[in-house]
Amino acid sequence: MQLGMIGLGRMGSNIVRRLTRDGHKCVVFDQNAAAVEALAGERVAGSANLKQLVSQLDKPRAVWVMLPAGAITETAIKQLGALLEPGDVIIDGGNAFYKDDIRRAQDLKTKGIHYVDCGTSGGVWGLERGYCLMIGGDKETVDRLDPIFATLAPGAGNIPITPDRQNRDPRVERGYMHCGPCGSGRFVKMIHNGIEYGLMQAYAEGFNILRGAASKELSENQRFELDLPDIAEVWRRGSVIGSWLLDLTAMALAEDPKLTRYSGFVEDSGEGRWTINAAIEEAVPADVLSAALYARFRSREKESFSDKLLSAMRNKFGGHVEPKAAD
């Protein structure tokens, strides 16, 4: 099958590589001409702009947009909407907001252009491992694109099928799912990323407690000098908290047990905030996910005003004196 790809960052370029490796053909564009040149080859045709990309695709066209959420994606989809024809389809595989997907789908429908939102999980490992795909759009369009999704997905691998899954969609067991109408795929991916925040925070806090077991604040017979890389490794094998995130944690600790190369400044890419907003709109409690998001905010403060105020209050009511701040 033929696919246009706009955005050749780490995930976009690897999606192209995985597709062409399986026999598909791609026409690609990126603002960085070097990224286009790096992929151009037997099954990959480069484009200098969106108009040229569209002209190189066979009808009905399929164009995948893999750009950061926000204005850059909005602009690309608007431009494509002016260039494509009825029957063509735009797939957005980035981390956009699901309500934007619903709006875009409605706008493009008036032109006869189909829109598919595809939540894509797999990161920089997707080329070899495959991508878990959560897809929103009308059934006919999603089914037409199935060869693309089937190639990108991980496949069944050696993961046992969950008992009592008879008469369910077999595509799910291969790592991709048609979640429902436009917006639903991205909504599922949004919650996926919100859960990811919580899982990551739980691992981070747990390992910090393990590290703190050597604290001089503890009595000597309760201090433990624990080997964190080995703990991460043993938990990977048979533990109920085993996961790919733990695998990645074990890798990081084996490379650098003290994590000296990391600043501890943790960004959030938007999905965590959107997840909490969805919980508020639904009046659904999300204690852990909310705390994980706020912990990321907290990581960005070298000297927190709230911590200083806590010290001031402790001093005023109890006479507690904290160490002086460095000049």
Work out the angle at residue 91's Cα, subtended by the Cα atoms of residues 87 and 93, and round it to the nearest 5 degrees.
Answer: 175
Instruction: Output 316 or 57, whichever has higher pLDDT.
Output: 57
pLDDT value of position 188 = 98
- 15 and 138 part of one domain: yes
Omega before 60 within 30 of 0, i.e. cis: yes
Residue % of the chain over a pLDDT of 70: 99
Instruction: Work out the average pLDDT over 225-232.
Output: 96
Query: How many Cβ atoms are within 10 Å of 230's Cβ, its own excluded?
Result: 13
**Cα–Cα distance for residue pair 39/43, rounded to 1 Å:** 9
Distance, in Å, from the CA atom of 235 to the CA atom of 69, rounded to the nearest integer, reads 36
Regarding whether 37 and 9 lie in a shared domain, the answer is yes
Contact in structure between 148 and 123 (CB atoms under 8 Å)? no
Query: Is 173 in the active site?
Result: no
Is 189 annotated in the active site? Answer: yes
75, 146: one domain: yes
Residue 326 confidence (pLDDT): 56
What's residue 317's pLDDT?
A: 80
C-alpha span between 87 and 57 (Å, rounded): 13
Q: How confident is the model at residue 325 (pLDDT cuts 50, 70, 90)?
A: low
Q: What is the mean pLDDT of residues 208-233?
A: 95
What was the pLDDT predicted at 42? 87
Q: Is residue 66 part of a domain?
A: yes
Over residues 233-256, mean pLDDT: 95
Q: Which of 189, 205, 217, 322 is catalytic?
A: 189
Amino acid at position 174, single letter: R
CA distance 12 to 127: 10
| Rounded alpha-carbon distances, angstroms, from residue 21 to 30, 77, 91, 158, 171 | 20, 27, 20, 22, 21
The residue that leads in pLDDT, 322 or 121, is 121
| Residues 193, 141 share a domain | no
- Same-domain pairing of 45 and 154: yes
Which of 181, 211, 242 finishes a domain? 181
Domain holding 81: CATH number?
A: 3.40.50.720
Over range 248-272, report the average pLDDT: 91
Asked whether residue 143 falls in the same domain as residue 61, the answer is yes
Please state, rounded to an integer, the average pLDDT across all residues of the chain: 94
Q: Are residues 155 and 23 part of one domain?
A: yes
Residue 117 shares a structural domain with residue 240: no
Same domain, 175 and 199: no
Q: Are residues 144 and 212 in the same domain?
A: no
**Model confidence over 86-138: pLDDT tens digits?**
999 999 999 889 999 999 999 999 999 999 999 999 988 999 999 999 999 99
Q: Are residues 17 and 114 in the same domain?
A: yes
Q: Are strands 132-136 and 62-65 parallel, antiparallel or unpaired?
A: unpaired
The candidate with the shortest Cα–Cα distance to 77, out of 108, 55, 33, is 108
pLDDT band at 169 (very low <50, low <70, confident <90, very high): very high
Q: Using CA atoms, how far apart are residues 211 and 104, in angstroms rounded to an integer?
A: 48
In a domain, residue 321? The reply is no
Residue 307 falls within a domain, yes or no?
A: no
Confidence of residue 261 (pLDDT cuts 50, 70, 90): confident
296 pLDDT above the threshold of 70: yes
Which residue reads 């996910």 in tokens? 289
- Active-site residue (options: 25, 99, 196, 233): 196
Assigned domain for 311 exists: no
Q: Which of 46, 45, 44, 53 is nearest to 80 (CA)?
A: 53
Q: Specify whether 144 is located in the same domain as 204.
A: no
**What is the structure's pLDDT at 315?**
85
pLDDT computed for residue 208 by the predictor: 95
CATH number at residue 208: 1.10.1040.10
Domain limits at 224?
189-302
Confidence of residue 51 (pLDDT cuts 50, 70, 90): very high
